[in-house]
Structure 1
Amino acid sequence: MISVDAFETRAAVLEDRELVEVYLERREAPSIVGNIYLGRVKDILPGMQAAFVDIGVERNAFLYVEEIVFPGKNEDEPMPPIQHLLKPGQDILVQVIKEPMDAKGARVTTQVTLPGRYLVLLPYSDFVGTSRRLPEEERRRLKETCEQIKPRGEGLIARTAAEGADLIDLRADLKRLLLYWRKIGRKVRDAAPVQLIYQEPQLALRIVRDLFSPEFRRLVIDSKEDYDAITDFLGSTDPELAKRVELYSERLPLFDKYNINQDIENAMKRKVWLRSGGYISIDHTEALTAIDVNTGKYVGKTTLEQTIFKTNLEAAGEIVRQLRLRDIGGIIVIDFIDMQDPDNREEVSRVLNEALASDRTKTRVIEISKLGLVEMTRKNVSQGLLEFQAETCPCCHGLGVILSDATIGMQMYRQVKRLAATHISESFVFKVNPRGREFLKQKGKLTGNILDLEWDKKAHLIFDDTVPIGRPEMIDEGTEAQIEQSMSNYY
């Protein structure tokens, strides 16, 4: 399903009518992954064996030494120091492989790749490979074909969509890619750095090029303009698949008709309920994502071990779905409920790995421990669903909790008391946030709007939602008579 509106393009992948992947792209901030830039080296960092490259976006891109291609490079030998390969001010052709995230710039490589419908062209490599999602026999066939048709000194990778493609289809796709690459070469020769050389298509066309294959029953899209672009593209590359593209024109929004909006909303929540009554909770930290499995409402019918085993088994499949749906990357630690039976641990591990086989993103899993912990990594290319749609809470600043009314009331009391103690006046007016007011009233410290400071001074409070919590503002001071008279000006 692809839905396009004035704000963004959204693509959803459903398997057995269940949402498993979501892709989002805002009109004002399209993805830059895959874009090729003629950049300029700004700084060399010998201590990190990396360089900052100006590619013309907000933050300089980051280039690791391992991502640098140079003549005579031998994969079996250690890389030379980056300061021997690059120097500040040097012009360099790079491709973005990872979106800018938080305060970090984009990750780039000089190992440029050009993806087509069936093939990926590697202009600077002699490597030939195939998608790991293809059957073994088909991988052998495609590898032999790629070896046969590839240009000398350049490499090819057969994509998942290449399954069943004949020599004519593969040659036609290669011809298109070589044409693109020659155009890029001409543009680089005529360009002055820093400049965008090649821009990836918009999300709708990328989804079709990279994901839509014969294993999909249909593709539904609600934009006539994108429908035309997609059918034109498939008409020249895969006419049979073009017949599976449908234009949606009903009044009810496409994502509402198939309950996708609700599923996306649920994917923002910390807790995910399992059908049995158990649940998983997903917590993000700076270093990793922690996923915890709990029996919740599920009490089982036989033994405790069986209850735990069934919960873990169900959780394994749901965890993989959530990883794909939320596009969680980096280090992931899964805390399954402790299982005593090693056969049960092995079965849960098997189900987890079997579910991960359907994940297009590269993952690496470490065997389940006796404590039920599974460590894994998942390639992180772009922002996850949560990071893309949310921002840090201005109240808790990402902590996930806020101070209680009691704590805020105590803080307010102490801060006002401290500020009053540093002035010689006998009466004061403070603007404060209303949170904590009820606590102070219950404790007998606040009568009306007057705070009892426990000595011969008075603090008159004006409650204002715009005042930050924990930052009372002294706006007036004087004798009690003066303050009593001036209070009418504040209401």
Structure 2
Amino acid sequence: MKQVAISGTGGWLRAALLEQGRLVEWRSEQAETEPLAGCVYRGRVTDVLPGIQAAFVDIGQGKNAFLYVDDALPPFHGTEKRPINELVRVGETLLVQVSKEAAEGKAPKVTTRVSIPGRLLVYLPPEGRAAGMPASGLPGAGVPVEPGARVSVSRKIADEAKRRKLRELAAGLLADGEGVIVRTEAENAGDEEVARELAYLRKRWREALASAAGRKTPCLICRDADLIEAALRDFGAEVVEEIVVEEAAAFQRVRELAEALFPGAADKLRRYQGREPLFERLGVAAQLDRALQRRIPLPSGGHLVFDRTEAMTVIDVNTGAFSGKGGQQREQAVTAANLEAAREIARQLRLRDIGGIVLIDFVSMQEAANRERVLTALRAEAAKDTARVAVLGMTALGLVELTRKRVRASLAERMTEPCPCCGGTGRVLSVDELERRLFDELSGLVRSQEAEAALVEVPARLYERLAAGGPEEWERPLHLYVLGSDRLPPERYRILYAGRSEEAERLYREKSEMS
């Protein structure tokens, strides 16, 4: 069963796509100040860098956006290549759209090719520099199309008669300067549905322009569709079996959208009024917690390990206790484990919204046919992803390479933040190393200040070590008074006093009584 669950409780909008009760995709409302994919801004060029063929655009969000030369090219440029300094200049006002969100120190990426995605169409307004051309990487625009025309039809529509009919229909609905991409979902749509959606997208764009007319540059012109509309569009509202909504306002919004844009979804809509929160009832909350874990167990007894670096994500497949049944040979058991892992990896990439380069270390297989079976399974599952995934093959070391189009921040980036103790590394100094550093610093105070005693505040794990006396071979450089603290991070300590023994003892007693 394929199911969409939407909740608007607590003032936060959240949406989940589930297949057979398993969480496949997750969306949540983010702060309006963040430059999200699909947002259109009126910005000002602050810097042009011919050396890297790029420019930076102030969009009013604190961090300037990155505009690469290919995303600044005018419509119908063909194969002509022009340098960035001929396309934009410092101080120029541009209409730009976020094609890739900011991520951990990297600026958001923008394009001058503005597009407004819908379920059947992607509207290309005349104000965008590239009316008639697809905006690569934007939500809803990631379909293969025919270039060089105001109307482009998805290549996934194979029937030439339907392609011609859709092209003529869309062309007849366009005003001067407008363009449109006809998406695969329009293949079996009626003429009235197509016309209604184009009118809706055009109206939304016009209203956004009008509302921003008197505002200073830089400013936000419009956002992508709200979370509910984007979820219904991207999750395939008309092909799911059920849409269950918690909270009255969210239910009303879904019903309005179903009537206007997703007529096939109206009969699948159900209001949830149970006592238990919807996502708790469906097990979504628990599955989200697991999706943030480094280690993911597999039903057979094996597990996956996800490690993220600045450059890529690395996934290791381990068979664990799985060795096959009925006396199967190792090759068969390993292949079965890898096939199971391939399916789960594709789901996890989609759920975690991992983008960029991914390397997968499957368990080694000897037969080429088995390696191809695993690659085929991985490609089949990845084809279900709403983001573009390219499985590039297996290296000489047996590592599978793939890339996944990054548009939004990953699930981990949206739901977590770097640990203030370890700085995001996932590791802290060992208690031995922490003790060594403390004693080194105290030794320096003995030499420089002739300190006789010191009062230190240390985290709980170091307090236990010092209270026990520490290793016999470590000689303390001075008399030490120790206070334990649950407030200190695990790899921090504080030297509160170093000097005369009488004063150190007095301060120790005073602070001990206060605590």
Q: What is the TM-score when the length of structure 2 is the normalising length? A: 0.86
SS in 1 for 2:259: helix
| 1:38 and 2:42 aligned | yes
In the TM superposition, what is the alpha-carbon distance from 1:353 to its structure 2 partner? 0.6
| 1:276 and 2:297 aligned | no
Contact 1:415 1:472 in 2 (8 A): no
Q: Report sequence identity in percent.
A: 36
SS in 1 for 2:48: strand
Structure 1 window deviating more from structure 2 (268-277 vs 367-376): it is: 367-376
The answer for the alignment partner of 1:104 in structure 2 is: 106
Contact 2:428 2:490 in 1 (8 A): no
In the TM superposition, what is the alpha-carbon distance from 1:262 to its structure 2 partner? 0.9
Contact 1:221 1:248 in 2 (8 A): yes
Amino acid at match of 2:79: D
In the TM superposition, what is the alpha-carbon distance from 1:209 to its structure 2 partner? 3.3
The answer for the alignment partner of 2:195 in structure 1 is: 171
Following the alignment from structure 2 to structure 1, what is the Cα–Cα distance between the partners of residues 284 and 362?
29
Q: 1:117-128 alignment to 2 at 5 Å?
A: 117-123=119-125, 124-125=131-132, 126=149, 128=151
* Structure 1 residues 219 and 484: CA distance shift in structure 2, 3 A: closer
| 1:353 and 2:379 aligned | yes
SS in 2 for 1:173: helix
Following the alignment from structure 1 to structure 2, what is the Cα–Cα distance between the partners of residues 484 and 184?
69
Contact 1:52 1:63 in 2 (8 A): yes
Following the alignment from structure 2 to structure 1, what is the Cα–Cα distance between the partners of residues 66 and 362?
36
| 1:460 and 2:464 aligned | no
* Structure 1 residues 465 and 420: CA distance shift in structure 2, 3 A: farther
SS in 1 for 2:483: strand
Contact 1:328 1:378 in 2 (8 A): yes
Q: 1:296-445 alignment to 2 at 5 Å?
A: 296-300=320-324, 301-442=327-468
Contact 1:295 1:311 in 2 (8 A): yes
Aligned equivalent of 1:18, options 22, 37, 52: 22
SS in 2 for 1:136: coil
Structure 1 window deviating more from structure 2 (371-380 vs 159-168): it is: 159-168
Amino acid at match of 2:58: D
Following the alignment from structure 2 to structure 1, what is the Cα–Cα distance between the partners of residues 109 and 86?
20
Following the alignment from structure 1 to structure 2, what is the Cα–Cα distance between the partners of residues 483 and 120?
73
Following the alignment from structure 2 to structure 1, what is the Cα–Cα distance between the partners of residues 223 and 388?
24
Amino acid at match of 1:413: F
Amino acid at match of 2:84: I
| 1:141 and 2:162 aligned | yes
SS in 1 for 2:10: coil
* Structure 1 residues 469 and 415: CA distance shift in structure 2, 3 A: farther
In the TM superposition, what is the alpha-carbon distance from 1:233 to its structure 2 partner? 2.3
Amino acid at match of 1:75: G
User: RMSD of the alignment, in Å?
Assistant: 2.6
| 1:227 and 2:251 aligned | yes
The answer for the alignment partner of 2:52 in structure 1 is: 48
* Structure 1 residues 184 and 476: CA distance shift in structure 2, 3 A: closer
* Structure 1 residues 166 and 142: CA distance shift in structure 2, 3 A: farther
Q: 1:205-284 alignment to 2 at 5 Å?
A: 205-284=229-308
Contact 1:33 1:96 in 2 (8 A): yes
Following the alignment from structure 2 to structure 1, what is the Cα–Cα distance between the partners of residues 287 and 164?
39
In the TM superposition, what is the alpha-carbon distance from 1:422 to its structure 2 partner? 1.7
Following the alignment from structure 1 to structure 2, what is the Cα–Cα distance between the partners of residues 21 and 314?
19
* Structure 1 residues 419 and 356: CA distance shift in structure 2, 3 A: same
SS in 2 for 1:51: strand
Following the alignment from structure 1 to structure 2, what is the Cα–Cα distance between the partners of residues 472 and 27?
36
Following the alignment from structure 1 to structure 2, what is the Cα–Cα distance between the partners of residues 486 and 121?
72
Could you list the per-position Cα deviations for residues 101-129 of structure 1 after superposition, in whole angstroms to 9, with x for gaps in the alignment? 22233211110101223111123123544
Amino acid at match of 1:277: G
* Structure 1 residues 239 and 466: CA distance shift in structure 2, 3 A: closer
Q: What is the TM-score when the length of structure 1 is the normalising length? A: 0.90
Following the alignment from structure 1 to structure 2, what is the Cα–Cα distance between the partners of residues 185 and 3?
30
Could you list the per-position Cα deviations for residues 207-262 of structure 1 after superposition, in whole angstroms to 9, with x for gaps in the alignment? 12343343211211112212222222221334332221111111111111111111
Contact 2:14 2:27 in 1 (8 A): yes
Structure 1 window deviating more from structure 2 (413-422 vs 428-437): it is: 428-437
Contact 1:33 1:99 in 2 (8 A): yes
Aligned equivalent of 1:158, options 161, 176, 182: 182
Structure 1 window deviating more from structure 2 (32-41 vs 317-326): it is: 32-41
The answer for the alignment partner of 1:114 in structure 2 is: 116
Following the alignment from structure 1 to structure 2, what is the Cα–Cα distance between the partners of residues 360 and 183?
29
Contact 2:245 2:270 in 1 (8 A): yes
In the TM superposition, what is the alpha-carbon distance from 1:188 to its structure 2 partner? 6.8
The answer for the alignment partner of 1:83 in structure 2 is: 85
Question: Which runs of no fewer than 5 residues in structure 2 stay unpaired?
Answer: 126-130, 133-148
Contact 1:409 1:435 in 2 (8 A): no
Structure 1 window deviating more from structure 2 (89-98 vs 142-151): it is: 142-151
In the TM superposition, what is the alpha-carbon distance from 1:135 to its structure 2 partner? 5.8
* Structure 1 residues 115 and 461: CA distance shift in structure 2, 3 A: same
Contact 1:113 1:120 in 2 (8 A): yes
Following the alignment from structure 2 to structure 1, what is the Cα–Cα distance between the partners of residues 296 and 493?
40
In the TM superposition, what is the alpha-carbon distance from 1:24 to its structure 2 partner? 1.4
* Structure 1 residues 178 and 477: CA distance shift in structure 2, 3 A: closer
Amino acid at match of 1:113: S
In the TM superposition, what is the alpha-carbon distance from 1:181 to its structure 2 partner? 4.3
Following the alignment from structure 1 to structure 2, what is the Cα–Cα distance between the partners of residues 481 and 192?
66
In the TM superposition, what is the alpha-carbon distance from 1:432 to its structure 2 partner? 3.2
Contact 2:36 2:408 in 1 (8 A): no
Contact 1:161 1:212 in 2 (8 A): no
Contact 1:408 1:435 in 2 (8 A): no
The answer for the alignment partner of 1:92 in structure 2 is: 94
In the TM superposition, what is the alpha-carbon distance from 1:390 to its structure 2 partner? 0.7
Could you list the per-position Cα deviations for residues 419-464 of structure 1 after superposition, in whole angstroms to 9, with x for gaps in the alignment? 2222124333333334323334555569xxxx9535xx42333333
| 1:475 and 2:499 aligned | no
Paired residues, what number? 481
Amino acid at match of 2:424: G
Aligned equivalent of 1:8, options 2, 9, 12: 12
Amino acid at match of 1:74: H
Could you list the per-position Cα deviations for residues 460-479 of structure 1 after superposition, in whole angstroms to 9, with x for gaps in the alignment? 33333445556544433444
* Structure 1 residues 185 and 388: CA distance shift in structure 2, 3 A: closer
Could you list the per-position Cα deviations for residues 362-408 of structure 1 after superposition, in whole angstroms to 9, with x for gaps in the alignment? 11111123432111111111111111111111222111222222222
SS in 1 for 2:307: strand
* Structure 1 residues 255 and 387: CA distance shift in structure 2, 3 A: same
Structure 1 window deviating more from structure 2 (398-407 vs 386-395): it is: 398-407
